[in-house]
Amino acid sequence: MPTLTDYVQTLFTLFDHFMQAQAPTRKRGGSFLYANKTLTVFFIMMQFRSIFAFKAQHRWLERHPELWPLLALKALPHRTTLSRRYKKLYQTLQDFLAFLADYATDLDPVFSNQHLVEDKSLFRALGPVWHQRDRKADRIPAKLRHLDTDATWSKSAYQGWVYGYGVHVTCNEAAFPTLVQVETASVSEGGVLDGKAAYLFNVIGPETLSGDNGYAKVTRIRSWARHGVALITPAVKWVKGRYAAAYHRFLKEPEQVEHLKRRRTSVEPLFDLVARVLGSPGKQGRVPVQRLGNVRTCLTLGVLTVQLAMIMNNVWGLPLRNISGMATVFS
């Protein structure tokens, strides 16, 4: 079984490769006193220990100086530094996750990005809900305390109405994450996928991408086909016309039927793993921090943690989707 040192050293090595790959496009500027790779490992550790308050994180570091060398930490960061850097990590974590998805394709066919899956999962906001009537009027009831005003409402067939945030994940059919984006709950999954399209076409180049009916848009399906990527969705509302008939004939082919089946056994278990990492399993998981800046880093870090666990499991010959070993050594 890999130890904490194994995980930390592996993440540091991978992060160094990532930074070298980013070097030609990086802007000039001074280096951070606390490196992003150090903070990434530290925040993963805090995540598994369910310590999300920055003041509590600061106290924990203060009480555990024996771990500073392992984390490559040369000084004790102030809690305001932890808070500020946590918010700023979102873009770096997004890029690092995409880098690892590409890096892992050479490790094992299980990490192939040839056939991808896209989906959105909702997480409840921390604190009370802001009813839509009050929210539209920008009115906060007098007794409503600790409200996350960044969150918004959305509804899914599985989770029902949720006041909170949405994590939009692209993964392969083995549930290995490829891309992630976090927005408030009301941001549409189709719009997020459109924003990812250029990267998917020009960098990843999958053969197929499967999604639910939320991604079924005639112009999107045809545009993706022109780029050589089959966008596979049930498209239950697109049934009229010769193009719709041709598309539904395409969906009945055995390969497409199989891709739609694999969608449910990949992305839905992945969301469950992310919720378990955050200590909030269940139908409506709750995000443990407030405000969009913090939530983006929190949920992205959760997806990245699962991705790293899968890479380590593959190297050590462990079940791919087992996160309990990583949770044990980081806790």
pLDDT in tens, 134-144: 999 999 998 88
Enumerate residues 6+ apart whose C-beta is below 8 A from 171. Answer: 116, 117, 177, 178, 266, 267, 270
pLDDT in tens, 7-45: 999 999 999 999 999 866 555 444 567 899 999 999 999
Q: Average pLDDT, stretch 305-309?
A: 98
Question: 199 or 34: whose pLDDT is higher?
Answer: 199
Q: Is the pTM of this model over 0.85?
A: yes
Residue 95 is predicted with a pLDDT of 97
| DSSP structural state of residue 200 | I
The CA distance from 213 to 118, in Å, is 11
Length of the chain: 331
| DSSP structural state of residue 127 | S
pLDDT in tens, 275-301: 999 998 777 789 999 999 999 999 999
Strand residue runs (E) in the chain = 115-124, 152-156, 160-172, 177-184, 208-210, 230-232
End-to-end CA distance of the chain: 15
pLDDT in tens, 167-195: 999 999 999 999 999 999 999 999 999 99
Instruction: State which residues form the domain around 205.
Output: 4-330
Which amino acid is it at 116?
L
Residue 108 is predicted with a pLDDT of 96
The CA distance from 287 to 165, in Å, is 8
Residue 25 is predicted with a pLDDT of 58
Structure tokens at 28: 């000039």
pLDDT in tens, 241-279: 999 999 999 999 999 999 999 998 999 999 999 999 999
Average pLDDT, rounded, for the chain: 94
The CA distance from 48 to 41, in Å, is 11
Q: Which of 18, 44, 39, 14 is nearest to 298 (CA)?
A: 44
The C-alpha angle with vertex 186 and arms to 183 and 188, in degrees rounded to 5, equals 80
| Adjacent-strand bridge partners of 118 | 170
Lowest mean pLDDT among 23-27, 78-82, 178-182, 232-236: 23-27
The CA distance from 246 to 26, in Å, is 46
Residue 1 pLDDT exceeds 80: yes
**Percent of the chain beyond pLDDT 70?**
97
Other beta carbons within 10 angstroms of residue 5's beta carbon come to 10
Q: Which residues of 13-28 are buried (b: 16+ CB within 10 A; e: fewer)?
A: ebbeebbeeeeeeeee
Strand residue runs (E) in 125-159 = 152-156
Lowest mean pLDDT among 147-151, 157-161, 198-202: 157-161
| DSSP structural state of residue 24 | G
The total number of structural domains in the chain stands at 1
Burial of 121 (0-12, 13-18, 19+ CB in 10 A): buried
On whether the CB atoms of residues 249 and 238 are closer than 8 A, the answer is no
Residue 87 is predicted with a pLDDT of 97
Q: Average pLDDT, stretch 118-130?
A: 96
Q: Average pLDDT, stretch 199-217?
A: 96
In a 13 Å sphere around the CA of 170, the CA atoms on its Cβ side amount to 29
